[in-house]
């Protein structure tokens, strides 16, 4: 009775969202980021760039390559320190020029040479200051931490088609656009979706089952639903309330708790500290509202005892 | 038993995408310094952890910025103005300072150096726009003559109407967009500021949009087109568009031997500032477009 009836609606296609998606890795035993999926694999993996009609039939204008933008984005550090070096070297050059020409290094504006020197010095200082501002706002590079656990894809089988496709769309969007690696959606006192990485349970190789009652009594859930707004735990290791989320991989770096109306919560786990940007947070809020509107249309689905 | 009505549900395994580069990271803490006596340094907080439920340590991140404190003035363009100002002063000094015979080689060297520094300063804000962590300019300016419209095809199912309304709303709100158009399998939804010709009656605006779309040939598109600095290519785009993006909505179709990508339609976004869509924006736009994907077996 535990598993209940497994309803298999039509399998959903995994169309490649971006061209660089690698083919799925074969399942390997063990805990560390293993792909141990206990379901039969479909016949052929989807190759991302196979037999696409190249260029399609669109004959309109295409954008040209942005060389400067690409070069700057790739050589970020070099460009950030460039103004300081340029400014500093020109400062030295002006002073050296003055000394080797035999002019006394006096800063007055009497001769046109001095005026030209002063203007050049002013420009050099501007460059140095701009370089300092750029260096001070250099983003701190954080690297992603691969979650430890097993991958799972579990969905409540009694959901109507439009809801399950919407849930899978939410997962695809989050995993493609953000650093999200785990997603659990709790609605109406039960888990309707658990997808991505999860802690492996101790006796089997599958993902640990979410204890919904314990989660709903915990402070994270209560606080999120009471405040009715998103909660962003940017560095999960700093929060002792982390123990309320044992189903997420233990080295999950950041978590967003998005309440879905009054009845549900979406738990989004990411692999990078402060990995969700403010833009991501805004998008997740709006997607959460949409999901809540869709889930509210769900009539009472019988609990699978 | 505790009500976890969860059964393992066999799905086609979805492979995870690789690490997505080009994310904009939050900014590090930096102490304030007095740099010039005239201008003041302002420390603006960009709080990247909104309220947590328990009293835990909040991560506060501060940004060092140099500002005159005048609202509406973009100080990142300051090197450019200084470059123009000092460069012209240098030229003035050269031609009007003293008579030509008294110009020494040393002065010429300084002036050449000064002019090249001025040129470099002028280019500097342009380079700074592409650095990671650059704050995008989110001011939307509305082109003149454009009116806000919200148009949707009538003979489409209600769920699609709801999705189109939500999709257009979200794209207008969360990206630097002033006009959005979604065209899916003969259903059209237009929202935002558009320059429709004034002489056609209201009920024919829909047909005018369809005609313009046919002229562009965009329904055959299979790859994302992003024009960050565009001149206006098509009549359908509102005047004052500086950058726009077209995201096709694709689904793979199983033919007998291989998989081809079919286009269900596209999403067109237009903005009044250049370089309006970062790679993060484009990833989310792709996600919203995929909502309208037609599952062939659904």
Per-residue pLDDT of chain B (298 residues; tens, 9 = 90+): 343 444 444 333 333 333 333 333 333 334 444 434 444 444 444 444 434 333 333 333 344 566 777 776 777 788 899 999 999 999 888 888 666 666 778 888 888 999 999 999 999 888 888 877 666 666 677 777 778 888 888 888 888 899 999 999 999 999 888 899 999 888 889 998 888 877 877 778 888 888 888 888 777 788 888 888 876 677 788 888 888 888 988 887 776 677 777 788 889 999 888 888 888 899 999 999 999 887 654 4
3-state class (DSSP) for residue A267: strand
CA nearest A286 in B: which residue?
Answer: B170
CB of A89 within 8 Å of a chain B CB? The answer is no
Q: Which of B276, B218, B210, B278 is nearest to B247 (CA)?
A: B218
- With a CB cutoff of 8 Å and minimum separation 6, the contacts of B199 are none
Query: Which residues on chain A are in Cβ contact (under 8 Å) with B260?
Result: 51-53
- The Cα B248–Cα B261 span in angstroms is 11
A-to-B residue pairs, Cβ atoms closer than 8 angstroms? 384
- The Cα B138–Cα B232 span in angstroms is 21
Contact A94 B82 (CB under 8 A): no
Query: Which residues on chain A are in Cβ contact (under 8 Å) with B124?
Result: 83, 127, 130
Specify the residue for token string 């493609």: A176
Contact B233 A61 (CB under 8 A): yes
CA nearest A303 in B: which residue?
Answer: B5
Q: Any idea what DSSP says for residue A171?
A: H
Local confidence band at A103 (pLDDT 50, 70, 90 cut-offs): low
* A127 vs B120, B222, B296: nearest CB: B120
> How distant, in Å, are the alpha carbons of A126, B72, B97 from that of B130?
20, 21, 39
CB of A279 within 8 Å of a chain B CB? The answer is yes
- The Cα B106–Cα A98 span in angstroms is 7
Q: Which of A80, A90, A83 is nearest to B79 (CA)?
A: A83
3-state class (DSSP) for residue A240: helix
In the predicted structure, residue A264 carries a pLDDT above the cut 50: yes
The per-type count for chain A, helices as H runs and strands as E runs, is 7, 6
Contact A176 B286 (CB under 8 A): yes
Local confidence band at A206 (pLDDT 50, 70, 90 cut-offs): confident
Q: Which residues pair with B270 in a beta bridge?
A: B179, B244
> How distant, in Å, are the alpha carbons of A189, A264, B146, B170, B212 from that of A261?
13, 6, 37, 18, 41
Query: Exposed, middle or buried, A185 (CB in 10 Å: 0-12/13-18/19+)?
Result: buried
Q: Does pTM surpass 0.95? A: no
Question: What are the φ and ψ backbone dihedral angles of A297, each rounded to 5 degrees?
Answer: -80, -5
Contact B280 A277 (CB under 8 A): yes
Instruction: Give mean pLDDT, residues A75-94.
Output: 88
Bridge pairing between strands B147-152 and B187-194: antiparallel
Identify the pLDDT of residue A107: 55
3-state class (DSSP) for residue A238: helix
CB of A93 within 8 Å of a chain B CB? The answer is yes
CB atoms closer than 10 angstroms to residue B190? 23
């Amino acid at each position: 009775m535990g598993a209940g009836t497994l309803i298999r609606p039509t399998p959903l296609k995994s169309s490649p969202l971006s061209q660089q998606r690698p083919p799925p890795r074969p399942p390997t035993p063990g805990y560390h980021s293993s792909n141990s999926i206990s379901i039969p694999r479909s016949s052929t993996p989807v190759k991302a760039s196979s037999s696409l009609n190249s260029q399609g039939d669109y004959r309109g204008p295409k954008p040209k390559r942005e060389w400067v933008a690409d070069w700057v984005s790739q050589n970020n550090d070099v460009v950030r320190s460039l103004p300081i070096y340029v400014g500093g070297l020109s400062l030295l050059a002006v002073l050296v020029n003055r000394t080797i020409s035999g002019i006394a290094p006096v800063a007055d504006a009497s001769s046109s040479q001095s005026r030209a020197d002063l203007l050049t010095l002013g420009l050099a200082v501007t460059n140095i200051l701009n370089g300092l501002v750029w260096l001070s706002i250099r983003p701190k590079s954080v690297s992603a931490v691969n979650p430890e656990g097993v991958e799972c894809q579990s969905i409540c089988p009694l959901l109507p088609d439009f809801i399950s496709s919407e849930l899978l769309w939410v997962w695809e969007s989050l995993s493609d656009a953000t650093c999200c690696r785990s997603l659990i959606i709790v609605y109406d006192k039960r888990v309707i979706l658990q997808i991505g990485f999860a802690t492996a349970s101790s006796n089997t190789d599958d993902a640990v089952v979410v204890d919904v009652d314990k989660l709903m009594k915990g402070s994270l859930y209560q606080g999120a639903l009471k405040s009715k707004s998103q909660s962003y735990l940017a560095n999960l290791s700093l929060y002792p309330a982390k123990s309320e989320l044992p189903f997420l991989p233990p080295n999950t770096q950041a978590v967003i708790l998005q309440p879905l109306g009054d009845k549900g919560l979406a738990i989004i786990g990411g692999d990078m500290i402060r990995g969700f940007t403010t833009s991501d947070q805004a998008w997740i809020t709006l997607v959460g509202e949409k999901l809540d509107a869709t889930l509210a249309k769900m009539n009472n689905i019988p609990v699978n005892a | 038993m505790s009500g976890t009505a969860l059964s393992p549900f066999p799905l086609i395994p979805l492979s995870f995408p690789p690490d997505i580069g080009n994310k904009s990271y939050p900014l590090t803490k930096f102490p304030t310094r007095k740099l010039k006596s005239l201008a003041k340094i302002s420390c603006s907080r960009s709080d990247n952890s909104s309220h947590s439920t328990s009293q835990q340590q909040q991560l506060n991140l501060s940004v060092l910025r140099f500002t005159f404190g005048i609202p509406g003035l973009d100080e990142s363009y300051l090197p450019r103005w200084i470059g123009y100002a000092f460069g012209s002063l240098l030229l003035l000094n050269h031609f009007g300072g003293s008579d030509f015979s008294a110009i020494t080689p040393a002065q010429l060297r300084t002036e050449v150096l000064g002019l090249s520094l001025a040129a470099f300063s002028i280019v500097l804000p342009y380079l700074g726009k592409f650095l990671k962590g650059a704050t995008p300019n989110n001011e939307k300016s509305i082109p003149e003559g454009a009116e806000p419209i919200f148009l949707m095809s009538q003979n489409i199912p209600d769920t699609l109407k709801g999705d189109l309304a939500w999709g257009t709303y979200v794209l207008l709100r969360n990206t630097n967009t002033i006009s959005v158009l979604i065209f899916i399998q003969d259903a059209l939804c237009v929202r935002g500021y558009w320059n429709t010709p004034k002489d056609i009656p209201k009920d024919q605006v829909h047909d005018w949009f369809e005609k313009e779309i046919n002229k562009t040939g965009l329904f055959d598109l299979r790859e994302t087109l992003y024009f960050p600095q565009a001149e206006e290519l098509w009549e359908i785009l509102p005047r004052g568009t500086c950058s726009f993006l077209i995201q096709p909505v694709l689904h793979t179709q199983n033919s007998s031997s291989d998989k081809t990508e079919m286009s269900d339609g596209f999403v067109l976004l237009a903005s009044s500032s250049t370089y309006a869509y970062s790679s993060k924006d484009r990833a989310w736009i792709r996600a919203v477009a995929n909502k309208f994907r037609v599952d062939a077996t659904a």
